[in-house]
Amino acid sequence: MTHRIKAAAEAGPNAYPRLVEALHENRKLWTMLAIDVADSGNKLPPELRAQIFYLAEFTQEHTGKLLARKARLAPLLEINAAVMRGLSGGRAKR
């Protein structure tokens, strides 16, 4: 997902539809994560659940700003990369 977003952004203005599609898919992923951690049956520690939910909210809001061309892409890519590193035990590319 992160690679698709970055590649579309680097491809220039003609790839804007690809960027929008990649951002939409990223939003869907973060929505699923938020729904999962909001579920009372989720077994993650409450603090971690809250942090993931906050990141999902931030991602949704920041994506809206990106689509309105009022924000930079870097924070979104950094969040995705940090989560991937955490899930892979720190082995994901930076």
**CA–CA distance, 90 with 94 (Å, rounded to integer):** 9
**How far lies 31's CA from each of 18, 53, 91, 92, in Å?**
20, 9, 25, 22
Q: Measured between alpha carbons, how far is residue 77 from residues 38, 41, 66, 84, 90 in Å?
A: 23, 29, 12, 11, 16
Return the pLDDT at 31. Answer: 98
Q: Which residues touch 16 (CB under 8 Å, ≥6 apart)?
A: 8
Helical pair 16-38 and 2-10, crossing angle rounded to 10 deg: 160
Q: How confident is the model at residue 62 (pLDDT cuts 50, 70, 90)?
A: very high
For the chain, the structural domain boundaries read 23-94
Q: Is the model's pLDDT at 3 over the cut of 50?
A: yes
Tell me the pTM: 0.86
DSSP codes, 15-63: GHHHHHHHHHHHHHHHHHHHHHHHSTT--S-HHHHHHHHHHHHHHHHHH
